[in-house]
Amino acid sequence: KNQVEQSPQSLIILEGKNCTLQCNYTVSPFSNLRWYKQDTGRGPVSLTIMTFSENTKSNGRYTATLDADTKQSSLHITASQLSDSASYICVVSAGGSYIPTFGRGTSLIVHP
């Protein structure tokens, strides 16, 4: 069964600090991996999309990495801001399937 596990479940950091969120998956055959940011009460917003051949992709202060061999991805947030407080969701799609597998998300709280 395809699965996506995210850790930690929740994280509290101080404004200005960096943090890294983890995503492990067992989806096969792998097609792509996406990271979304979901603010409370809103729909998810795409941060990055990575295919098998991509190791790193950045979007401003957000940098995603992918290790297709170990089936792990991370999302690194640099110099966190209060507006980074949100849930971060990892989504993995399998080739030939229209049904993506979503992780449960990591809830990030940034304190001033």
Partner 1 sequence: NAGVTQTPKFQVLKTGQSMTLQCAQDMNHEYMSWYRQDPGMGLRLIHYSVGAGITDQGEVPNGYNVSRSTTEDFPLRLLSAAPSQTSVYFCASSYDSSGLGEQYFGPGTRLTVT
User: Interface with partner 1 by CB under 8 A: which residues?
Assistant: 4, 31-32, 34, 41-46, 49, 89, 93, 98-105
As measured in angstroms, the least distance from the Cβ of 50 to partner 1 is: 12
Nearer to partner 1, 2 or 15 (CB): 2
As measured in angstroms, the least distance from the Cβ of 67 to partner 1 is: 20
Nearest CA-CA partner of 59 in 39, 76, 42, 80: 76
As measured in angstroms, the least distance from the Cβ of 22 to partner 1 is: 15
As measured in angstroms, the least distance from the Cβ of 8 to partner 1 is: 15
Nearer to partner 1, 80 or 108 (CB): 108
Residues with Cβ within 8 Å of residue 33, at least 6 apart in sequence = 23, 25, 49, 50, 64, 66, 73, 90, 91, 92, 93
Nearest CA-CA partner of 82 in 40, 55, 112, 60: 112
Give the dihedral of Cα atoms 104, 93, 28, 102; nearest 10 deg: 10
Nearer to partner 1, 63 or 102 (CB): 102
